[in-house]
Chains A and B, each alone.
Chain A
Amino acid sequence: MVDTKKQHFIVIDDSKLDCFIAEKVIRNTGKCESVQSFLQAKEALEYIKKDIAEKPYPNIVLVDIQMPVMNGFQFVEEFEKLPAEITNKYRLYVISSSINDVDLSKVHTYRSITEFLNKPITSNNLSLLLAKV
């Protein structure tokens, strides 16, 4: 049964409110096994490096672009350096308020970014995304 497959989620956003919104929307889909939020991309990266648990489905990562210290693109670059047995377990989505052409076209230059999502995240666009997974 397709409906029963539940996902693990990781949200990376320096805005507490945006993490909160994402968590709520994710939990409301009913397809959420777990959701972890990080205000700093570096911490998320450490978490991903250490997380060796076997999961039947890829984890879904929603990462914001503009963040201090390590931004979304820097995070993706670091992520892509990790060994394939780790990166294979994740599916990256960029989520941003940006309407900047440079940001939008940059998204396509990273092989590991599946899709770009506009903020705010809603149950509608999240459901569409999950239907494709």
Chain B
Amino acid sequence: MNSTEKIKILYIDDEQNNLTSFKANFRFDYNVLIAATTDVATGLLRDNPDTRIILCDQRMPDKTGVQFFEEIRTEFPEPVRMLITGYTDIESVIDAINRGHIFRYIRKPWTDADVQSAIEEGNKFFLTNSLLHSRNTELQSAYDELGKFAYSVTHDLRGPLLSLLGALEIAKASESAEELKEIHSMMGESIKKLDEFIRNIHEYYSLKRGRLVFEPIDFNAIVHDTVALFRIAGIMDHIRFNADVKQEGKFLCDEISLKIILNNLLSNAFKYQRKSAIDKFVEVNIESNSENAIIFVTDNGIGIHPNHINNIFTMFYRATSEETGSGFGLYNVKDALNKLKGEIEVTSKVNEGTTFKITIPGKPNG
């Protein structure tokens, strides 16, 4: 919410004169909505969910202001409620305030200064509350992630370790050189899996805690660096790879986030190939100018089943048991894109392949 915008307030009173003079007095300082009946007021609240403060006269024809506030409290819990009333109703007002329905009351006839100070106080209260609310939401999602994290760590770190332990036991008892070789190569796989998980945790952490550093991007260099690592690891063997980069003008972005995105998408594209396919290919197309970059990563691999496609960006979700994976990669991709305000689309067909399309806005120069 923009703090420089005028505060939106709703004033409810059955006397037209009061409404008119209220609006005349405060329309320069606030965005004032007025209602002569509680029904109109409810309608206005529905249409204006950003209303921060409601002032209501206690003596409305169909109900009291206190009753009205009690009624709307569930549907509109956020706006700060204030009652306008004469001395005669003071008992019911005290009661309502004590029961927490009303933030404060304004004595009738009101003065501009009274109303103004009440609105300013009410607004502070509103802002504190909504800040608290959004912090609580953030905290809750951090807790949820931590919970998933702790659960997954026991499996993803402990799993490969226990496999190694099991393999060592068998190796001790084995007398065949052939079998030992086989066990060793499987132990290597298990260690790689563990290492991949740890690298993913590192990526996750750099994304969560790291600051974005915007600098001119050389996509050719990023693709080259990424692919060089895959080549050494041998995961590109027998897969046709083609990179097409068209770069015009200076594209400013955070290089680490871009590398995380490309590294994960390309690694998936190479990994989830159909083993029996004859012509396996992976393609990356990048077009960028100073305004944005559009990246396509395409493969003709195993594809993603429609049942899983909505969940692929969820932390620790895995749509297949082909190959080893941590369930972390695409989550990190999505997280990096959120930080860059980028978007990702995926189209996929089982046994035909998958295309990811990424659009990232460049940071304006200077």
**Chain A residues engaging chain B, CB cutoff 8 angstroms:** 14-18, 20-21, 24-25, 28, 39-40, 66-69, 97-100, 119-122
CA distance A99 to B162 in the complex (A): 12
CA distance A128 to B169 in the complex (A): 17
Within 8 A of A (CB), among B290-334: 318-321, 324-325, 327
Chain B interface residue count, CB cutoff 8 Å, equals 26
B190 x A17 contact (CB < 8 A): yes
B-side interface mostly: helix
B155 x A18 contact (CB < 8 A): no
B166 x A120 contact (CB < 8 A): yes
CB distance from B65 to the nearest CB of A (A): 50
A-side interface mostly: loop
CA distance A13 to B321 in the complex (A): 10
Task: Determine the chain A residues whose CB is within 8 A of the CB of B154 once the complex forms.
Answer: 97-100
Contact status of A21 and B163, CB under 8 A, knowing A97-B154, A98-B155, A120-B169? yes
Task: Determine the chain B residues whose CB is within 8 A of the CB of A69 once the complex forms.
Answer: 318-321
CB distance from A125 to the nearest CB of B (A): 11
Closest residue of A by beta carbon distance from B158: A97
The answer, among B166, B173, B327, for a CB contact under 8 Å with A18, is B166
Task: Determine the chain A residues whose CB is within 8 A of the CB of B189 once the complex forms.
Answer: 16-17
Task: Determine the chain A residues whose CB is within 8 A of the CB of B132 once the complex forms.
Answer: none
Closest residue of B by beta carbon distance from A64: B159
CA distance A88 to B162 in the complex (A): 31
8 nearest A-B residue pairs (beta carbon): A120-B166, A68-B318, A21-B166, A14-B321, A119-B162, A17-B186, A97-B158, A97-B159
CA distance A118 to B318 in the complex (A): 23
Task: Determine the chain A residues whose CB is within 8 A of the CB of B155 once the complex forms.
Answer: 66, 97-98
